[in-house]
Amino acid sequence: MIETEPLVAAAGLVKHFPVRRGLFGRVSGLVRAVDGVDVRIAAGETLGVVGESGCGKSTLGRMVLRLIEPTAGSIVFDGQDIGTLGAGALRAQRRAMQIIFQDPYSSLNPRMTVGQTLAEPLRLHGLHRGREGERVTELLHTVGLAPEHALRYPHEFSGGQRQRIGIARALAVEPKLIVCDEAVSALDVSVQAQVVNLLQDLQRRFGLAYIFIAHDLAVVKHIATRVAVMYLGRIVETADKEALFANPRHPYTQALLAAIPRPEPSARRERPVLGGDVPSPLNPPPGCHFHTRCPHAQPVCSQTAPLLEGTGDGHFAACHFWREIQSHAATEQPIAFAPARRRLERLQSAFVASDPVPTP
């Protein structure tokens, strides 16, 4: 459950990357990577952020750390508005916010031993002065590596071990939040499970909060407390993990869940697996961005962006017809679009809602 004062409270986050063309680099368009997203994360909680490639989830994670400057929106971390911090204050605050990348090898200096790699952030932040070696041994032990590994170079390790080194490096400065950006996506399934178990163990021991970014809902299911599903820069559904997996409301979430491989061959697919590609964020479809792939799309979906609507239980979905679609799934009766369409027409006549409405 969210605490009154969350560790992270980001509101109205937007990131538009200009596309430049021609000799003079004139801006010819905008890539709408993140388009009006709110995020709240409590201490010790894991928010799983899922979606296909290009949905903006990595950009969102990096914006929360201010590794990427937002085009608009605010980020409060541990009670401090980090959008207003100067370079020095931001560096000090960054100690509490770390990131683990998908490819740990590219984030490790191949010319530095693991010991030097782990001692570097200690020196930068003036931590454990005079006993850096002890701290490095402690960190290696914490992530399941041996003290002698401190003398080896990154290329001498397997992918899973390198990811453990990346985790140890993040832990070195005793953070409160770690963004795990596709941190297990490149690993074999058995190694993925080991790294996820390690992350969960560290969370219990140190009270860490994670933003766990992945394109695979099956992985997120094991680690997340809450899940946010993103599509073309917007959150289309967010809920506690149990509610989202048991009772997905948005057709996109339903399709992602249907795509999870099932061990039993006789398992019946009750929902259609998603087809087609994600449209370009340079020119996203109007209205509901998902309407070009949605099996339930109605004419109104291409005209009006749905609100991220909640039901008072922390479960929010951005779909005009989620109630009707759910009722259809439960009763197998044809979907009754007409009442919802009339409700929308009344709304449309009250205001033009072609822009996304800020998430709750």
301 is an interface residue for ligand SF4 by CB under 6 A: yes
Q: 98 is written with which tokens?
A: 């770390």
Single residue of 290, 307, 316, 344 touching ligand SF4 by CB under 6 A: 290
Nearer to ligand SF4, 194 or 292 (CB): 292
Nearer to ligand SF4, 295 or 360 (CB): 295
Single residue of 296, 307, 356, 359 touching ligand SF4 by CB under 6 A: 296
Nearer to ligand SF4, 212 or 290 (CB): 290
Single residue of 288, 308, 340, 344 touching ligand SF4 by CB under 6 A: 288
CB 48 within 8 A of CB 25: no
The torsion angle over the Cα atoms of residues 311, 312, 317 and 318, rounded to 10 degrees, is: 80
Residues 98-137 close enough to bind ligand SF4 by CB under 6 A = none
Selected range binding ligand SF4 among 47-55, 86-94, 96-104, 290-298, rule: CB under 6 A? 290-298
320 is an interface residue for ligand SF4 by CB under 6 A: yes
Nearer to ligand SF4, 27 or 330 (CB): 330
Distance CA 321, CA 318 (A): 9
Task: Print the binding letters for residues 218-257 with ligand SF4: x by CB under 6 A, - otherwise.
Answer: --------------------------------xx------
Q: How far is the CB of 13 from ligand SF4 (least distance, A)?
A: 21
297 is an interface residue for ligand SF4 by CB under 6 A: yes
Distance CA 116, CA 152 (A): 10
Nearer to ligand SF4, 125 or 328 (CB): 328
Residues 321-350 close enough to bind ligand SF4 by CB under 6 A = 321
Q: How far is the CB of 12 from ligand SF4 (least distance, A)?
A: 21
**Secondary structure element (H or E) that encloses residue 198, with its range:** helix 189-206
Distance CA 213, CA 61 (A): 8
77 is an interface residue for ligand SF4 by CB under 6 A: no
Kind of pairing, strands 316-317 and 234-240?
Answer: antiparallel
Q: How many residues in the shown chain lie near ligand SF4 by CB under 6 A?
A: 14
Q: Where are the beta strands (DSSP E) in the chain?
A: 8-21, 26-41, 46-50, 72-77, 80-81, 97-100, 177-181, 209-214, 226-231, 234-240, 309-310, 316-317
Q: What angle do CA 326, 332, 334 make, to 5 degrees?
A: 85
39 is an interface residue for ligand SF4 by CB under 6 A: no
Distance CA 247, CA 224 (A): 16
Gyration radius (Cα) of the chain, Å: 22
Q: How far is the CB of 293 from ligand SF4 (least distance, A)?
A: 8
Distance CA 64, CA 75 (A): 7
Nearer to ligand SF4, 157 or 321 (CB): 321
Q: What SS3 state is found at 106? A: helix
Write the CB contacts of 148 (distance below 8 Å, at least 6 apart in sequence). none
Q: How far is the CB of 340 from ligand SF4 (least distance, A)?
A: 9
Which residues of the shown chain bind ligand SF4 in the complex (CB under 6 A)? 250-251, 288, 290-291, 294, 296-298, 301, 306, 319-321
